[in-house]
């Protein structure tokens, strides 16, 4: 079990770092991504299923996409995201 915890934390750090440039290395966002990755890892370990964590990841991404799509009127008003 300690090896699984270490692996989950290590890969979560890498996951957040991988998204760093995308998020302009904004620490709160990177912390959120680190936590999301830990949750995805926990699901993978608990259910022994890559599919389960993949579906959660896809749902998370879709939620972000849908929220941005609605908030910007179909991406017509991207300036609303910066306020």
- Tell whether the torsion through CA atoms of 17, 22, 25 and 26 is positive or negative: negative
Write down the residue that tokens 């890498």 correspond to: 14
Tally of CA atoms within 13 A in the half-sphere of 45 that contains its CB: 15
pLDDT in tens, 9-61: 999 999 999 999 988 999 999 999 999 999 999 999 999 999 999 999 999 99
Which residue blocks in 1-83 are alpha helix, DSSP H? Answer: 2-18, 27-47, 50-71
Q: What is the mean pLDDT of residues 53-79?
A: 89
**Residue 71 CB contacts under 8 Å (≥ 6 apart), including other chains:** 80, 81
Calpha distance 27→39 (Å, rounded):
18
């Amino acid at each position: 079990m300690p090896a699984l915890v270490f692996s989950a934390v290590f890969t979560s750090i890498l996951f957040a770092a991988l998204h760093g440039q995308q998020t302009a290395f904004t620490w709160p966002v990177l912390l959120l991504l680190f936590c999301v990755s830990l949750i995805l890892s926990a699901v993978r370990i608990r259910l022994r299923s890559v599919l389960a964590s993949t579906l959660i990841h896809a749902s998370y991404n879709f939620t972000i996409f849908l929220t941005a799509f609605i908030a910007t009127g179909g991406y017509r008003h991207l300036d609303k995201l910066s306020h």
